[in-house]
Amino acid sequence: METKRMAIIATKGTLDWAYPPFILASTAAALGYEVQMFFTFYGLQLLKKDLSGLKVSPLGNPGMPMKMPFGPKWFKGVNWNIPNAVQALVPGYENLATSLMKQTIANNGVASIPELRELCVEAEVKMIGCQMTVELFGFDHREFMDGIEYGGAATFFEFAGETDICLFI
């Protein structure tokens, strides 16, 4: 049986949007796919050595439930509908939302992003950083994990053109 291949372009740099690319890449690798991930624009944040800066923002995100990861069951079920104007004005609101989300993630037995990324590395998922964005955002290669390559759109197509599944996330 010929090896299936999947390519993913990861373009988002928040804690919530870090999940889909790493979940799909690690699972595809477990299913025997050869996987390549191309990280561009905000997606480059997912390649940082230190991933503790990833945050989630409920501001302007009506799809995100705001529920508490602790307390009795009825309390956990309450969806805190906090107006955007309040979210924008309260200092540290994003940090609070991020730590609540991390707690919810842990409570539900969902892997952390560093753990999922490590599983991808172990499964030999190839990761490529967009060199143009590195320069555009004034990043330094030393900020990113070791063992990744840097390239541009043509580098992505070299692999993507021969894939069974190709996703833009």
State the residues that interact with another protein by CB under 8 A: 1, 23, 26-27, 30-32, 108-111, 119
Dist. CA 27–CA 20, nearest whole Å: 11
CB of 122 to another protein, least distance (A): 9
Q: Pick the closer one to another protein by CB: 81 or 108.
A: 108
Cα 23-28-29 angle, rounded to 5 deg: 105
Q: Pick the closer one to another protein by CB: 30 or 96.
A: 30
- Dump the DSSP string for 87-123: HHHSTTHHHHHHHHHHHHHHHTTPPPHHHHHHHHHHT
Dist. CA 128–CA 8, nearest whole Å: 10
Q: Pick the closer one to another protein by CB: 62 or 109.
A: 109
In 3-state terms, what secondary structure has residue 161? coil
For tokens 């996987």, name the residue.
Answer: 35
CB of 10 to another protein, least distance (A): 16
CB of 115 to another protein, least distance (A): 9
Q: Pick the closer one to another protein by CB: 59 or 169.
A: 169
| Cβ neighbour number for residue 65 with a 10 Å cutoff | 11
Q: Which of 30, 32, 25, 52 is nearest to 127 (CA)?
A: 25
CB of 29 to another protein, least distance (A): 8
For tokens 């480059």, name the residue.
Answer: 44
Q: Pick the closer one to another protein by CB: 9 or 29.
A: 29
At residue 62, what is the residue type?
P
CB of 102 to another protein, least distance (A): 14
